Amino acid sequence: MGVSYKLSELFALAHGHGRRLTFANLGLWNLGLLGLVLSLLFEPGTWLVPAFAGLLATSALLHVLDIGLLLRTRRRRRLTVEQWHTFASLASLLTAAGLGLVLASGRAPGANWVVAYGYAALAGWFGFAIVGKSSKILPFLSWLHRFSGAVGHGPVPLLRALVAERLAWACFGLLLAGFAGVLVGLVLAEAAVVRAAGCLYAAGALLFALHAARLVLPLALSRRSELVPQEVSA
């Protein structure tokens, strides 16, 4: 959550967003987390477990609201692929919070809901956040390493020239469709749906790997060319 606040503000050029709700959310999240852990250890099966799970779900909702208010102050009005990854990540967080409430209440239809809960949190909330932020961070690092020294000495490409935008959108579409399909398949305990949607997700992951390699490999090759003369002389 903390990283998302700072990077969302940075990438969207959002300024002037207050921190009151952010710190309130920080306190509520830690209170709910500590209470849930202690209640699961010492008072399992009591009303304390769903109560503290409800605090965590409320905190997740506040976080989504806070990020939404932050993005309203953005100077870059056009929504980027990174921000759509953020929306998918936040939707997954709310989904995981809802599934967590059902599990804490002891009314889950089956063990498959436990898997769906973990999948929504890891592949959804964490996964979309990491992939989305990487789509902004990797091009910046690549440009900084390859062209920052040439600024002022000749023409250099713009940062957006390093980004294969169509590839990034295709990757997001496949990941989103695959993730949603796998999640539905897990909730309904339909293995065929999980397998089919898993193929879509794997294709999206492969596209992301290709996109990342397109940015990172030039850095590795240039680094190797810098080290080879030193190795030979030694």
> Taking the domains of the chain in order of start, what are their residue ranges?
1-78, 79-228
Closest among 60, 206, 55, 194 to 121, alpha carbons compared: 60
Confidence of residue 234 (pLDDT cuts 50, 70, 90): very low
**Rounded mean pLDDT, 13-17:** 80
pLDDT of residue 232 exceeding 50, the answer is no
> Which pLDDT score, from 0 to 100, does residue 51 have?
96
CA 172, CA 84: separation in Å to the nearest integer?
8
> Which pLDDT score, from 0 to 100, does residue 38 have?
96
pTM to 2 decimals? 0.84
pLDDT cut 90: percent of the chain above it: 56
Cβ-Cβ contacts under 8 Å for 120 (sequence gap 6 or more): 92, 95, 96, 99, 183
Using an 8 Å Cβ cutoff, are 87 and 29 in contact? no
Confidence of residue 229 (pLDDT cuts 50, 70, 90): very low
CA 3, CA 9: separation in Å to the nearest integer?
10
Confidence of residue 45 (pLDDT cuts 50, 70, 90): confident
Amino acid at 134: S
Q: What are the tokens at 168? A: 């990034």
pLDDT of residue 221 exceeding 60, the answer is no
pLDDT cut 70: percent of the chain above it: 91
Strand-pair partners of 151: 154
* SS3 of residue 107 by DSSP: coil
